[in-house]
Amino acid sequence: MIEIRPVNGIRGEINVPGDKSISHRAAILGALSKEGITVGNFSTGEDCKTTLTCLKALGCEITKSDYKSGEKDLTDLDHLRSDAVGFENKVTIKAPKGLREPKNILDAGNSGTTARLLLGLISGIPNLFAVIDGDESLKGRPMGRVTGPLISMGAKIDGRDFGNRLPLSVRGKKLNGGTHVLQVASAQVKTAILLAGLNGQGPTTAIEPNTTRDHTEIMLEHLGVPISKCGLKTTVYPTSLINGGSWTIPGDFSSAAFWIVAAAITRESELQIKNVNVNPTRTGLLNVLKRMGLIYSIEDETLSGGEKTATIVVKSSSLEGTKVMPEEIPSLIDELPLLAVAATQAEGITEVTGAEELRVKESDRIHAMAVGLKKLGAQIKETKDGWIIKGKTALAGGKTRSYGDHRVAMALAVAGLVATSPLYLEGENCVRISYPGFFETLRKLTQNTKAKERIQS
């Protein structure tokens, strides 16, 4: 359990870890590359280490180098430094001899992206056999959205609940291409189909119902893989081997988001977050917060690996409620728990609709945030696909829990910064999934968090 004390504000300049979605993709595309993909600022989160561990079991060579340690074989994945920034955590992933059958079950842990993207990758590689499993949370999450289209491409996949739940077995083969209309707006599903299509017999097209994050498309283009994109339609052409590449992964907007909201809702804040990915398919939170009155600027924009990177400057802001529409949801899907926290500090009503996907994330995030914030005194009503939140409320502190979900944990920790008394967060260790250094950065910015042994209720 950790104690979070209220603060007047957060001030300073920070970096956040490398983007999780981009790190997964760089690693997985490295597995199709003989020369290798080298990326700096690889995500320090557990989820991306999980992807590296699975790729190693599939025969990839993975090495890490940084200023301090020099070059190392990444057998001990803990060599990734959780406090590293910039060019540290430089990782090279390659498969000079191609992929081989793993001896053991591939454990995707808590990571939906690892499981779904690996299903796409392995499905298309002739004769490669693997079984993919995950932790209790991941075993409960739907996989049919990925296995359905892959099976329709000819993939041999079977497992629990007729291929809808882990563990799943995959026997790769040369797949048909074809056109696939996605039933859910999910970048993971789109990416799995495109990865499978790289080894297909003809072009493979994914048509999404709404724009989702486009890191896969940007990275494929950056690596010179033939790909075309027209609105919601993306097509890849058979390319079994990928050229190598080297670039630095920008900071994760989803991690920066916690500090953006923390600065906005506390009274005396001014914060600079450097080198953050500002890909517009990810920054929907900024659009929504802007409508609510956020004072911010985006500076020093550059490109890295084809991705927009910038410094985000945020100041304390007086927020007002807003309506978040279903078409906006994919661009802030991972930031919605945090938006719920911001909404408790905004005058008037904030309504989120069309976010039913939140019910099948690492936890049921609609429920987890409604329970957590209600406990702190917020006026929040859970609906089938979102929340109705009435602000502004002076949140009380007290005991609350993470539901084992990293984003819920960090969103509630941010709520603690504006509570009237300390907040005690149970199950805070899950932040390691995406942001192991979260509490250190919080301490640096506020000098006010303190781990407690055990608080008696």
Q: Is 161 part of the annotated catalytic residue set?
A: no
Residue closer to ligand S3P by CB (options 282, 392) is: 282
Chain residues binding ligand S3P by CB under 6 A are 21, 24, 113, 186-188, 191, 212-213, 333-334, 357
Residue closer to ligand S3P by CB (options 66, 334) is: 334
Using CB positions, name the residue nearest to ligand S3P.
21
Q: Edge-to-edge strand order for the sheet containing 398-401?
A: 398-401, 423-426, 2-4, 450-451
Shortest distance (Å) from residue 186 CB to ligand S3P: 4
Identify the active-site residue in 66, 334, 364, 405.
334
Q: What token pair was written down for 254? A: 């989803």
- Just list the catalytic residues: 334
